[in-house]
């Protein structure tokens, strides 16, 4: 592989991967923050007798299910972005190996 091609690939990776990591961390932070707020709210309701322990358990299990679905969605979006990056890299490689006639 030529040096310019390697430089192009490395530049693409450097540009895309931190962005993907940052977006994933931001989504995880948001999901965990929302879950914490829900648990705080529900705990207060249990303390005042507005929710039973069984209701709290049901709500917590349901919230975990939502977190799993959201995590799967975010993972799918990250995979789609990685696939797009791979396609762009293949285009760079093909263009470098088969210059336009």
In the chain, pLDDT over 70 holds for what percent of residues? 95
Cα(80)–Cα(86) distance, integer angstroms: 10
- Per residue in 53-89, pLDDT (tens digit) is 999 989 989 988 888 888 888 888 888 888 888 888 8
Residue 83 has a pLDDT of 86
Question: Can you tell me the distance from the alpha carbon of 55 to that of 60, in angstroms, rounded to the nearest whole number?
Answer: 9
């Amino acid at each position: 592989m030529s040096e310019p091609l390697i430089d192009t690939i490395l530049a693409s990776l450097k540009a895309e991967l931190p962005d993907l990591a940052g977006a994933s961390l931001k989504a995880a932070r948001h999901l965990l923050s929302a879950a914490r707020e829900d648990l705080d709210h529900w705990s207060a309701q249990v303390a005042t007798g507005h929710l039973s322990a069984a209701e709290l358990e049901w709500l917590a299990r349901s919230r975990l299910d939502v977190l799993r679905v959201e995590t799967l969605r975010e993972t799918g979006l990250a995979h789609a972005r990685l696939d797009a990056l791979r396609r762009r890299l293949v285009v760079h490689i093909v263009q470098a190996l088969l210059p336009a006639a």
